[in-house]
Amino acid sequence: MAIPSFVDRARLTVSAGNGGHGCASVHREKFKPLGGPDGGNGGNGGSVILRADPGLTTLVDYHRQSVRKAQNGQPGMGGHRNGANGEDIVLMVPQGTIVTDERTGRVLADLGEVDEVVVAGGGKGGLGNAALASAARKAPGFALLGEEGDERIVDLELKVLADIGLVGYPSAGKSSLIAAISAAKPKIADYPFTTLVPNLGVVVAGETTFTVADVPGLIEGASEGRGLGHDFLRHIERCQAIVHVIDCATWEPGREPLGDLQVIEKELANYGGLEDRPRLVALNKIDVPDARDLAEIVTPDIEAAGYRVFPISTKTGQGLTKLIFAMAEIVRERRAEMTAAPPRRIVIRPEPVASSGREFTIKRQGDGEGGFVWRVRGDKPERWVRQTDFGNDEAVGYLADRLNRLGIEDELLAMGATPGDAVAIGAGEHPVVFDFAPQVDTGAELLSRRGEDQRLEEVRPSVRRRRELDAAYHAARDELVGHDREADWRELHRQALADELSHDFDEDGE
């Protein structure tokens, strides 16, 4: 099956890059037995960005390739070397594209109003043990894991950005009108539904430049799915004015200009959202004598209905100049009413779970097997759980300390939790489940904090021996010098040694 050149709907699967893991490393150098932690941080994962490009008119690239993934961040390394960040992926889409979350149906961004949107944010890199070191934890033996990047399926829907929209029955001359007033070259033929995709043309009227778009031919029932119009009516939602192109030389029985106008207006009303757009009526093909006479007959009735009427001929060019400047006048007025907004960039972030200003929530829920579990939700605790290496006891202890400082432990105790109860942290059907083990006080002495190594506080034997020698040296010096701090203790020491040697010699001589 051939892939069409014009695609105005596409479904795109985007995956941001994962953050790199932090590094747990200790500096190693000769004669420096404890060089300290030097593990670097992991790099951030790349994000997926959709950016509006006025030069594009189709979503066909995402019809061909519907899965895009950004680069992962690199892990940290020893020697305080941080991992490289993953590169962002910037996907260019036509201006006027609506981005919708496929799962929730929520509109994430309108790229006719903003320049770009970050649809999938890259995961944060994990901290290395050098960044986790503190006065209480001098040499962490663990590092934090990088977070996973966002994954999302988005629906892209193109709504053409044009100033003037042309509507009418098939073969009314809409494509011929665009070809006559602009440099566009749409397909033109003498059979219905020649136009299968919207055509765009740029028109210059004096100092005003504007764009004109035509919608594939509408017929009665188009808003309910008949013909091709139901697929393309959305392309005139953004138009600042609507021009009805009416065929005054149609050979179809039962059709006449006023009836065609009423049918198309009914379809626009059924589609909805276009009631405030100014309307113009172009009575086409007046180069045909019968069509000219018919246009003169119906013009008063159409004007009485509140429309400005312009008899035109796209073949001879008659009446086109008046129509062009009338369209330019509407465009100038509409643009003057609109205030230019500064370009904005939207970043899609998950909505916070907690409410009322709290950073977490706790609920007691059944586990489906006759027991219960304390379910903890919140952005911080869930992120901390994702960053934890559960194969490292010290890292698990560090997580427990963080949760305790956040107040989760106190809240669980206040709600009636007892040691050994199941505590689940995380979203979805597979959260991380812990056995509740609160921090315990024993008398006046507090047990060591989880995640800390008391061996770091112990004095090594070599240090103890050095300190003993230093103490003996200072004691001997004080004994020789006494209270006279200006005395030369080295000379006194040599004299004491000489006296001791001479005394030993005398004893041997006797």
Q: What pLDDT is attached to residue 127?
A: 94
- To the nearest whole number, what is the mean pLDDT of the chain? 80
Q: What pLDDT is attached to residue 484?
A: 66
Higher-pLDDT residue of 144, 455: 144
pLDDT surpasses 70 at 510: no
Q: Would you put residue 260 in left (φ > 0), alpha (ψ -120 to 50) or beta?
A: alpha
Q: What pLDDT is attached to residue 12?
A: 92
Q: How distant, in Å, are the alpha carbons of 16, 48, 89, 427, 472 from that of 86?
A: 9, 11, 9, 26, 59
pLDDT surpasses 90 at 418: no
Binding residues for Mg(2+): 175, 195
Q: At 39, list the tokens.
A: 């593990």
pLDDT (average), residues 140-161: 88
Q: At 507, list the tokens.
A: 């004893």
Q: What pLDDT is attached to residue 6?
A: 64
Q: What pLDDT is attached to residue 73?
A: 95
pLDDT (average), residues 499-503: 69
The dihedral through the CA atoms of 316, 321, 326, 327 has a sign that is positive
CA proximity to 318, closest of 280, 345, 282: 282
pLDDT surpasses 60 at 352: no
pLDDT surpasses 70 at 225: no
pLDDT surpasses 60 at 187: no
Buried b (16+ CB within 10 A) or exposed e, 370-389: eeebbbbbbebbbebbbbbb
Q: Do domains 9-158 and 361-457 have the same CATH topology?
A: no
301 Cβ neighbours under 8 A, 6+ residues apart: 258
Domain 164-337 falls under CATH 1.10.8.620: no
Q: What pLDDT is attached to residue 369?
A: 60
pLDDT (average), residues 229-258: 78
CA proximity to 280, closest of 314, 309, 237: 309
The confidence band for 223, taking pLDDT boundaries of 50, 70 and 90, is: very low
pLDDT surpasses 80 at 344: no
pLDDT surpasses 90 at 428: no
Position of tokens 């020789």? Answer: 480
Higher-pLDDT residue of 505, 85: 85
Q: What pLDDT is attached to residue 435?
A: 84
pLDDT (average), residues 173-179: 84
pTM reported for the whole predicted model = 0.66
pLDDT surpasses 90 at 168: no
pLDDT digits 0-9 by tens, 14-45: 999 999 999 999 888 887 777 789 999 999 99
The confidence band for 62, taking pLDDT boundaries of 50, 70 and 90, is: confident
pLDDT digits 0-9 by tens, 84-132: 999 999 999 988 888 999 888 888 888 877 888 999 999 999 999 999 9
Binding residues: 168-175, 193-197, 214-217, 284-287, 313-315
Q: What pLDDT is attached to residue 434?
A: 83
- The DSSP code for 15 is E
pLDDT (average), residues 231-246: 78
pLDDT surpasses 90 at 341: no
Q: What pLDDT is attached to residue 222?
A: 46
CA proximity to 279, closest of 236, 229, 335: 236
Of the candidate ranges 13-17, 269-273, 400-404, the one whose mean pLDDT is the lowest:
269-273
Domain ranges within the chain, ordered by starting residue? 9-158, 164-337, 361-457, 461-509
Q: What pLDDT is attached to residue 20?
A: 95
Q: What pLDDT is attached to residue 507?
A: 52
Binding residues for GTP: 168-175, 193-197, 214-217, 284-287, 313-315
The domain defined by 9-158 folds into Spo0b-associated Gtp-binding Protein; Chain: A, (2.70.210)
Domain 361-457 falls under CATH 3.40.50.970: no
pLDDT surpasses 90 at 83: yes
pLDDT surpasses 80 at 498: no
